[in-house]
Amino acid sequence: MIGKLVKYSNKGEQRMEQNKKVTIHHLFWYFLIFSVIGLIIETLYCYFTMGILESRKGLLWGPFCPVYGVCGAVLIFVLDKTKNKSIIKLFIVGFIFGSIAEYILSYSLEAIYGIRFWNYEYLSYNLNGRISLVFSIYWGILSVLLVKFAKPQIDKVVENINSCTRNIVELGIFIFLIIDCIATVWGIQTYQNRVLYNKSYKTDSNNVVLQLRQKIENDYFTNERMKKTFPNLRVRLENGEEVWLGK
């Protein structure tokens, strides 16, 4: 009798776990956490494969690599809908959707910034340099780890935070990330104009706003700072030639 009760209890807990919905709060924290973890992984991967320790950040401020955050959140959202969460099926779905998400992000970031943040043309079996077989395999492996290990732990932490406190923290971080994105776009465009076209914003106007813009671009968005933060930025010119801004 006790054994049956335990069995029914376990089934009930599993059913409740399966019925848990991924909310906007969960997605926000998935994005945030995997942006940081992705940056660490990317930095270590670069160091152990090429012997180079350099910045792999995607934003000007903070330890964030948004590509991993977006892909991680998308993968969990998609995989959570998968009824059969076997390791093989998770790997296959993650392989496919991770690759699609990375390809779309590559186009999106280039459209927003006018810059390519990564290029896999040096790897075998790549598609337009935006995705490659080896990284698609990594997405499959990562998907299994996300659903089987990371997601349950993150969900527990998120659900145990006081809702009022959580909302305030999320709003604060969200506003910071918006400002960070704007500053990043501004800085990269300034850097690109300065390096490629020898353009610098100069004015003798008494306009306070223009003077402030000039000071920020000249004193903060320096070539040294931008090169150190984004050492692998590439621009594809109209003739198809790809130019590395930091080289």
- Phi, psi for 234 (deg, rounded to 5): -130, 145
Q: Cα(203)–Cα(216) distance, rounded to whole angstroms?
A: 13
* DSSP SS3 for 170: helix
pTM of the model: 0.79
Output Rg (C-alpha) for the chain, integer angstroms: 22
Q: Which domain holds residue 107?
A: 2-244
Counted domains in the chain: 1
Structure tokens at 177: 């990330």
> Per-residue pLDDT for the chain (247 aa), expressed as one digit of tens each?
544 444 444 444 444 444 467 889 999 999 999 999 989 988 998 888 888 888 989 899 999 999 889 888 988 888 887 766 788 988 998 899 889 989 998 888 888 777 777 888 888 899 988 999 998 998 999 889 888 888 889 999 888 889 899 999 999 999 999 999 999 999 998 998 888 877 666 666 677 888 888 888 989 999 999 999 998 888 777 666 777 777 6
- Could you tell me which residues come within 8 angstroms of residue 68 by beta carbon, excluding any fewer than 6 positions away? 34, 35, 37, 38, 39, 41, 42
